[in-house]
Amino acid sequence: MIQANNISLNYGGVSALKDISFQVERGEIFGLIGPDGAGKTTLFRILTTLLLADSGTAIVDGLDVVRDYKVIRTRVGYMPGRFSLYQDLTVEENLSFFATVFGTTIEENYHLIKDIYQQIEPFKNRRAGKLSGGMKQKLALSCALIHKPAVLFLDEPTTGVDPVSRKEFWEMLKRLKLQGITILVSTPYMDEASLCDRIAFIQKGKILTIDPPEKIIADFPYKVFAVEADNNYKILKQLRQSESVRSVFSFGDSLHVVFKDVSKIEKEQINAELKEIAPTIEDCFMALANN
């Protein structure tokens, strides 16, 4: 459904994307996971025909993003990272404007957006600028969906949205997937990665790995230990200097440690309890990003 072949792009000498290739199957939720500045938005813009790559080709729904950009624009739904609707128009005005622009009506495709739009319909006369973050995202998704796109491009749809709304949002994506819509979604949140069918880790314009999230975790070659203590920072510094530690990162209240050789753990160095845990997606990303 989406095919990117060796895409590279430079911004004034700085390389934003380096030789990116991947493929997204029909009806798949494909996640681009990576920190800010990794090149996710640039890649989205190339695939949505908004930017031209310096080299490489891309095909969306069987069409070339450069040559057939006009046709692609009728078939995809795009939700940019920044809230990009008209803040001074009401919820309903925004939706009906985008419906008309795409040559359809709200009534015609209401079934597609019903689940999402119903939640904001009580506020349909409110101006979009006065909506909460979660409601804005729902409206933006409704607008991106109103013309029944074959592919949905969602650039960081959950950034700045509260956890409850984020969860709801992903449930909506699952339902859209069932309707046969292919979804390419990017996020800086590692916990959302496991909700995708397949993910690509992206960092500094390079794809580190592409696999289903379960496989990435299963393939993680190391054992991960969690350390929980009152003086996390001191222990973190101590572990960073230790010869036997491969990597250590702070994860909320605890530290995740990977040792070079599990059999030689110098327990006496750490004045806290070590507990082996199942690796998370973030552990995998950190390990890959550091290699």
Partner 1 sequence: MKQFIAFVRKEFNHILRDRRTILILLVMPIVQIILFGFAITTEVKDTPMAILDPSKDEATRQVTEQLAASRFFTLVSELRSTEEVEKAFQKGDVKLVVVFSDNFQSNLFHTGEAAVQIIADASDPNQASTFTNYASNIITTVYLDLASKTQIITGDIRPLRIIPEIKMLYNPQMKGAYSFVPGVMGLVLVLICTMMTSISIVREKEMGTMEVLLVSPVKPIYILLAKITPYFALSVINLTSILLLSVFVLGVPIKGSLSLLILFSLLFIFVGLTLGLLVSNIVKTQVAAMIFSGVVMMMPTLLLSGMIFPIDSMPKILQWISVIPPNRWYIEGVVKLMIQGVSAKFVLKEFVILGLMAVLLLAVSLKKFNVRLSK
The contact set with partner 1 (CB under 8 A) reads 11, 45, 48-52, 69-70, 73-74, 76, 78, 80, 82-89, 93, 96-98, 100-103, 143
Least distance from partner 1 to the Cβ atom of residue 83, Å: 8
Q: How far is the CB of 243 from partner 1 (least distance, A)?
A: 46
Q: Which amino acid belongs to residue 262?
A: V
Other C-beta atoms closer than 10 Å to the C-beta of 245 total 18
Q: 61: Cβ–Cβ under 8 A, 6 or more apart, which residues?
A: 1, 2, 72, 75, 76, 150, 151
> Which of residues 11 and 110 has its CB atom nearest to partner 1 in the complex?
11
CB of 74 to partner 1, least distance (A): 5
d(CA 240, CA 180): 47
- As measured in angstroms, the least distance from the Cβ of 260 to partner 1 is 44
Nearest to 227, CA basis, from 194, 201, 205, 249: 249
Q: Which two tokens stand for residue 285?
A: 């990303």
- Nearest to partner 1 of 143, 255 (CB atom): 143
The upper half-sphere exposure of residue 255, i.e. CA atoms within 13 Å in the direction of its Cβ, equals 25
- Minimum CB separation of residue 80 from partner 1 in Å reads 5
Q: Whose Cβ is closer to partner 1: residue 11's or residue 233's?
A: 11
**Which of 189, 121, 177 has its CA nearest to residue 145?**
177
DSSP letter at 90 equals B
d(CA 289, CA 291): 6
Question: How many other β-carbons are positioned within 10 Å of the β-carbon of residue 210?
Answer: 17
Shortest distance (Å) from residue 10 CB to partner 1: 9
Q: Which is nearer to partner 1, 102 or 249 (CB)?
A: 102
Which of 159, 232 has the CB closer to partner 1? 159
Identity of the residue, 99 or 248, whose beta carbon is nearer to partner 1 in the bound complex = 99
